Amino acid sequence: MPDHKALVRRWFDEVWNQGREATIDELFGADGIAVGLGAGEAPVHGPAEFRIFHRNLRSALPDIDIQIDDIISEGDTVAVRITLNATHTGQGLGVAPTGNKVRIAGIIMVRFADGKIVRGWNSWDQLGLLQQIKAIPPAGEQFLASS
């Protein structure tokens, strides 16, 4: 049986921290589905669609560093709590680069079959990211502006 924790660690290290797209093809199943990535919460199907999300995020935040804070594995499913640190220096999110440092947290569950990701459920601080890159004002500023 594959070491699912090791596969998740490899995913975050190679796909995100190193920007290695070839690992997407190696670890994301052809029929794999990821949800909760943003962009209207539409599911992402297969490696080709995931690469679009990957390129957009890495082009906006090219120095992404994702640290695994906790990891739990049971059967074919792994739960992982992560912290993402990066600098907003690119256009990939449709917002002019701010140069701001961003730090966001997330929880991801991944299901494997035959050593490949077949389902990924992502819950991450999308609002916090948008506030940190100045796409929307922080909560306190929103209330002040509407007063």
Go through the chain and tell me how many residues it has. Answer: 147
- What is the domain range of residue 35? 4-146
Domains in the chain: how many in total? 1
pTM, whole model, 2 decimals? 0.89
Give the pLDDT mean for 42-71: 95
Report the distance separating Cα 110 and Cα 128, nearest Å: 23
Q: Per-residue confidence at 109, pLDDT binned at 50, 70, 90? A: very high
* Proportion of the chain above pLDDT 70, given as a percent: 93
Q: What is the structure's pLDDT at 137?
A: 85
CATH of the domain at 34: 3.10.450.50
